[in-house]
Amino acid sequence: MGQDKLSVEVQSLIDAQDHPFVLIDDNYNIVAANSAYKQAYGVETQDIIGRKCHKVSHRSDVPCHINGEDCPHKKVFETRAPHQVLHIHYDTNALPEHVRIKGSPIFGQDGSMYLGEAVFPLAHSDDLDGKQNRLVGRSKPFLVCIENLTRAAATTAPVLLSGESGVGKDLAAEYIHRRSDRNGHSFTMVDCSAISERVFESELFGHERGAFTGCIGRRYGLFEQADGGTLFFNEIGDLPQSLQGRLLRAMETGQFRRVGGRELLSADARIICATSRNLRQLVAGNSFRADLYYRIAGILCEIPPLRNRREDISEIAEALLQRMSPGKNVALRLTNDAREALKHHDYPGNVRELRNVLQRAAALSTNGIISAAEIHIDSTIESSPAEDAPHFTDTNKPEPSIKGLESRYIAELLAEHQGKRAQVARILGISERTLYRKLKQYGLQSIGRPDSS
């Protein structure tokens, strides 16, 4: 419907909103926008009225639920109730902006229903569930990363997080879990660098009483604990090859037996893995199983190092200091010269190194105010990436592209599930329409057979 058909009351409601606000009809058309929206996104009324909301906000030709995302339009029109999501919108410079969307049903004078969307750019500690957001930043590399994590959260596909040591891959995994439909269940972490072959099966699958010497009771393994939730394998590249086959079988079937047990158990856990090593090189060197790699690399997300997002360093430092402040008489604060001093270091240890620098500075500060004089950075450590840190965008190496990995993963799923498109689409967390489009894109239409149902 056009803007001229709106009631005076509805238009007044839109104009009274302090935050950017748009009104959208049941066919995804924007029918009204307030001045805050037009000012925030640098558009005029004629630029957006009558255009599809997904085209304006997401630069997408299809609604966001077709791309596997949580769509406030679809949810509100289905339930006629408010719905809140985390999305990526694009500003006037075509840069992604991390925003919170509050969608509400609004009714026109003739009874027609509209979606009212209030747009809230996320502040440092803003979060969907009210918990403190430990992923902080506004730089382009960070927002691109957040966009990838948000999209990954909307699917059920396995995720592989890559990045140097100290960039926060564990926080990224938790971010995905908290924004997925498994948020109400457990987030369970497995530290692959610390688990030994001797206790591997007991840790992951549990054991029965008397399974081995000294075993006096039943133990529930991490797979069982993560049932319905997310199982996060940190530093998967450190897992000994002798253990990789056992893990692969459990991931593929979702079934296992406790050590010393006969009963075949099952667990439904979403798998997220992280590595600071280049798994492709490990596969090429036969130290990491190729089949396990393609099982876990459903979606690739690279976490940028701190030196590539210098404009975020001050914000990250303030957030770290805020968490150091509880229990102190005064809050810890940075002076402007301290912020500048922090920006001129490459941080080979990334956020972990920045935290250590701030902890030393806080100890030297007498009044809670940290100046450049308290900032002491060890410059003897080379400011260069780790030798085998992964770089999935390096085109100088003969490594498969993300599209190549996706194509291979889809092909393997089709073969595994006898070409059943509906089942493969559910596993990937996308619509069948999107799957068919990908099959055409990758030339996979002939693999398996189409569903008969």
Q: How many CB atoms lie within 10 A of CB 103?
A: 22
> Considering the domain 307-374 in this protein, what is its CATH number?
1.10.8.60
Residue 210 pLDDT class (50, 70, 90 cuts): low
Superfamily for the 3-121 domain: PAS domain (3.30.450.20)
Q: What does the pLDDT read at residue 172? A: 96
Q: Using alpha carbons only, what angle is made at residue 296 by residues 295 and 297, rounded to the nearest 5 degrees?
A: 100
For the beta carbon of residue 309, count every other beta carbon within 10 angstroms. Answer: 20
Model confidence, pTM = 0.63
CA distances in angstroms from 397 to 65, 167, 391, 437, listed in the order given = 35, 24, 10, 29
**Whether 299 contacts 173, CB under 8 Å:** no
User: Among 83-87, 120-124, 268-272, 395-399, which stretch is predicted with the lowest mean pLDDT?
Assistant: 395-399
- Is residue 317 within 8 A of residue 278, CB to CB? The reply is no
Closest to 87 (Cα-Cα) out of 106, 61, 68: 68
Sorted by sequence, the CB contacts under 8 Å of residue 16 that are 6+ apart come out as: none
Range in 41-50, 280-289, 419-428 the model is least confident about = 419-428
- Do 171 and 134 form a contact (C-beta atoms < 8 A)? yes
**Residues 60 and 53: beta-carbon distance below 8 Å:** no
State pLDDT tens for residues 288-330.
Answer: 999 999 999 989 999 999 999 999 999 999 989 988 875 556 6
Identify the band that residue 212 occupies on the pLDDT scale cut at 50, 70 and 90.
low
Q: Which of 47-56, 127-136, 172-181, 233-242 has the lowest mean pLDDT?
A: 127-136
Which of 46-60, 200-214, 221-235, 332-346 has the weakest average pLDDT?
200-214
Per CATH, the number for 140-304 is 3.40.50.300
Confidence of residue 341 (pLDDT cuts 50, 70, 90): very high
Cβ atoms of 380 and 410 within 8 Å: the answer is no
Determine the Cα–Cα distance for residues 143 and 228; give it in Å rounded to an integer: 29
Which has the closest alpha carbon to 48: 36, 63, 33?
A: 33
Question: Which of 10-24, 173-187, 378-392, 409-423 is predicted with the least confidence, judged by mean pLDDT?
Answer: 378-392
Q: Cα 282 to chain center, whole Å?
A: 25
As given in the structure block, the two tokens for residue 114 are 């509209």
pLDDT by residue (tens digit) across 46-93?
888 999 998 888 778 888 888 767 789 999 999 999 988 877 777 666
Looking at residue 399, its pLDDT comes to: 46
- Taking the C-alpha atoms of residue 62 and residue 214, their distance in angstroms, rounded to an integer, is 59
